[in-house]
């Protein structure tokens, strides 16, 4: 594994396998972000005349489909390699885009949301497991930073860029998304299969085949027993992971509706506001990441949770556009502190062995927060008004701040 021994992970980033994973991550998250943030919420509200609650449920199905398969995917990757697991995902994602493009009934849109979730479920387990396998311990921090940058850039660029293709109809935007998914399928076909995946992870395929005589359920049970035995995380970390994504889930279905129906922004103006918040976050990631490595995660999470909580609460009540821009910038500052520190905190609980399955398990917990947040978001909007999801999201971050106080105190007590 000479590639993992290079200083600073430079050769890791030139690995064709890692580059393929990052390209897939960026393009799939671009498509997903464009659909979930900029296209589907407005399309379902204006063209299909659905309530915000119905929109929240439709989008929640995407997160349900995503989380239904995440936990066992680490085990499946270990058995059949990266190519077919990822290919399964990107083909389902492509089918979802095609359905949304050519179908207009609510039932078809709901089915497409579910397919989108199922299709994107292999993404994170494959990318994180593969990238950290290539990087090894020496460059794991570097590769994780790059993975999260690819994710954040894709998620951010999708809603922003696609708005410039939505002028008189959605047709140009759908053509862009279909073209991207064609590229993703071609890249997925080039990923290593079972034999090459085993060689990459320095495992013996013959040794793995010795256990084939055991029933699949028995092999899966033994595998996840080893995973459970290797976890040494604070029990409070699990509700914290759920809560952190629950706060995000409260915003996802209503963010575009708020910009278009309350602030009356055009798609292009909305993109500029997303750029303002996203640029602040992205520009802050690298310096904050370095400071986290030097000073630890504690104070950055304290500050990030508080800044984001109060900023989101203000955003729900702000109507003057210059002030909205300022508040959005503070939300970006809060998440610039949260993202590197939170990922570092989670990474400390990931054991070196069984990395794929543990990431799948943690990502499932986080995804459940998105599911319940999306469902509750529309209900809050319909019953209490447009400000309610923002206010509740800020309140949830305050709860997370309190949880983190107990987590950090627990870790201090353990050290003592």
Per-residue pLDDT, 108:
87
Query: Does residue 256 surpass a pLDDT of 90?
Result: no
Number of structural domains, the chain?
1
Average pLDDT over residues 204-209: 48
More confident residue, 17 or 286: 17
Per-residue pLDDT, 181:
96
Average pLDDT over residues 279-304: 80
Distances (CA, A) of 126 to 66, 95, 345: 13, 20, 21
Nearest to 179 by CA among 98, 122, 233: 98
Q: Quick one: angle between helices 140-163 and 267-295, nearest 10?
A: 170
More confident residue, 210 or 144: 144
Q: What is the mean pLDDT of the chain?
A: 79
Nearest to 56 by CA among 400, 333, 392, 401: 392
Per-residue pLDDT, 307:
94
Per-residue pLDDT, 308:
92
Average pLDDT over residues 246-265: 84
Per-residue pLDDT, 249:
86
Per-residue pLDDT, 139:
47
Per-residue pLDDT, 375:
81
Per-residue pLDDT, 357:
65
Q: Which domain holds residue 252?
A: 2-415
Query: Does residue 140 surpass a pLDDT of 60?
Result: no
Nearest to 241 by CA among 132, 374, 152, 345: 345
More confident residue, 393 or 224: 393
**SS3 string of the chain?**
CHHHHCHHHCCHHHCHHHHHHHHHHHHHHHHHHHHHHHHHHHHHHHHCCCCHHHHHHHHHHHHHHHHHCHHHHHHHHHHHCHHHHHHHHHHHHHHHHHHHHHCCCHHHHHHHHHHHHHHHCCHHHHHHHHHHHHHCCCCHHHHHHHHHHHHHHHHHHHHHHHHCCCCCCCHHHHHHHHHHHHHHHHHHHCCCCHHHHHHHCCCCHHHHHCCCCCCHHHHHHHHHHHHHHHCCCCCCHHHHHHHHHHHHHCCCCCHHHHHHHHCCCCHHHHHHHHHHHHHHHHHHHHHHHHHHHHHCCHHHHHHHHHHHHHHHHHHCCCCCHHHHHHHHHHHHHHHHHHHHHHHHHHHCCCCCCCHHHHHHHHHHHHHHHHHHHHHHHHHHHHHHCCCHHHHHHHHHHHHHHHHHHHHHHHHHHHHC
Average pLDDT over residues 238-258: 86
Distance separating alpha carbons of residues 341 and 298, to the nearest angstrom: 8
Q: What percentage of residues in the chain have a pLDDT greater than 90? A: 19
More confident residue, 30 or 223: 30
What confidence category does residue 184 fall into, taking pLDDT thresholds of 50, 70 and 90?
very high
For the ranges 4-13, 31-40, 46-55, which has the lowest average pLDDT? 4-13
Per-residue pLDDT, 4:
40
Query: Does residue 147 surpass a pLDDT of 90?
Result: no
Average pLDDT over residues 59-86: 77
Distance separating alpha carbons of residues 375 and 59, to the nearest angstrom: 8
Nearest to 357 by CA among 135, 73, 148: 73
Average pLDDT over residues 386-406: 92
What confidence category does residue 254 fall into, taking pLDDT thresholds of 50, 70 and 90?
confident
Contact criterion met (CB below 8 Å) for 351 and 232? yes
Per-residue pLDDT, 302:
92
**Its pTM surpasses 0.95:** no
Query: Does residue 311 surpass a pLDDT of 70?
Result: yes
Per-residue pLDDT, 344:
72
Distance separating alpha carbons of residues 416 and 412, to the nearest angstrom: 6
CATH of the domain at 86: 1.20.1250.20
Q: Which residues of 334-357 are buried (b: 16+ CB within 10 A; e: fewer)?
A: bbbbbbbbbbbbbbeebeeebbbb
Residue 121 has φ and ψ, to the nearest 5°, of -60, -35
Average pLDDT over residues 85-100: 92
Distance separating alpha carbons of residues 148 and 324, to the nearest angstrom: 27
Sign, CA dihedral 208-211-217-223, equals negative
Six token digits for residue 304? 């990030």
What confidence category does residue 227 fall into, taking pLDDT thresholds of 50, 70 and 90?
low
Distance separating alpha carbons of residues 244 and 409, to the nearest angstrom: 19
What confidence category does residue 6 fall into, taking pLDDT thresholds of 50, 70 and 90?
very low
Q: What percentage of residues in the chain have a pLDDT greater than 70? A: 78
């Amino acid at each position: 594994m000479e590639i993992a021994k290079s200083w600073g992970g430079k050769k890791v980033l030139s690995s064709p396998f890692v580059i393929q994973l990052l390209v897939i991550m960026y393009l799939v998250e671009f498509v997903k972000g464009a659909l979930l943030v900029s296209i589907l919420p407005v399309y379902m509200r204006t063209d299909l005349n659905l309530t915000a609650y119905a929109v929240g449920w439709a989008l929640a199905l995407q997160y349900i489909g995503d989380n239904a398969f995440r936990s066992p995917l680490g085990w499946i990757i270990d058995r059949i390699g990266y190519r077919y697991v990822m290919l399964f995902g990107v083909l389902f994602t492509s089918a979802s885009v095609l359905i949304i493009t050519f179908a207009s009934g609510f039932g078809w849109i709901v089915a497409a949301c579910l397919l989108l979730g199922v299709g994107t479920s292999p993404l994170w387990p494959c990318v994180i497991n593969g990238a950290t396998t290539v990087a090894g311990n020496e460059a794991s921090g570097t590769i994780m930073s790059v993975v999260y940058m690819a994710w954040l850039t894709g998620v951010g660029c999708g809603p922003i860029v696609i708005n410039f293709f939505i002028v008189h109809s959605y047709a140009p935007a759908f053509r862009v998304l279909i073209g991207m998914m064609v590229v993703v399928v071609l890249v997925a076909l080039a990923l290593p299969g079972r034999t090459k995946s085993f060689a990459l992870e320095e495992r013996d395929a013959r040794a793995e085949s010795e256990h084939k005589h055991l029933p699949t359920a028995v092999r899966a049970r033994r595998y996840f027993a080893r995973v459970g035995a290797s976890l040494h995380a604070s029990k409070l970390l699990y509700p914290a992971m759920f809560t952190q994504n629950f706060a995000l889930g409260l915003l996802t279905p209503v963010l575009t509706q708020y910009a278009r129906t309350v602030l009356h922004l055009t798609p292009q103006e909305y993109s500029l506001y997303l750029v303002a918040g996203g640029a602040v976050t992205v520009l802050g990631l690298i310096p904050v990441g370095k400071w986290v490595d030097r000073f630890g995660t504690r104070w950055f999470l304290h500050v990030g949770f508080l800044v984001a909580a109060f900023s989101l609460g203000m955003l729900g009540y702000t109507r003057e556009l210059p002030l909205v821009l300022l508040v959005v910038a503070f939300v970006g500052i809060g998440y610039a502190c949260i993202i590197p520190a939170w990922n570092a905190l989670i990474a400390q609980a990931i054991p070196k062995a069984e990395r794929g399955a543990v990431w799948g398990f943690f990502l499932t917990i986080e995804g459940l927060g998105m599911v319940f947040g999306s469902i509750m978001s529309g209900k809050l909007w319909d019953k209490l008004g447009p400000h309610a999801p923002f206010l509740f999201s800020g309140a949830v971050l305050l709860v997370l701040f309190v949880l983190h106080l107990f987590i950090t105190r627990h870790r201090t007590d353990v050290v003592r």
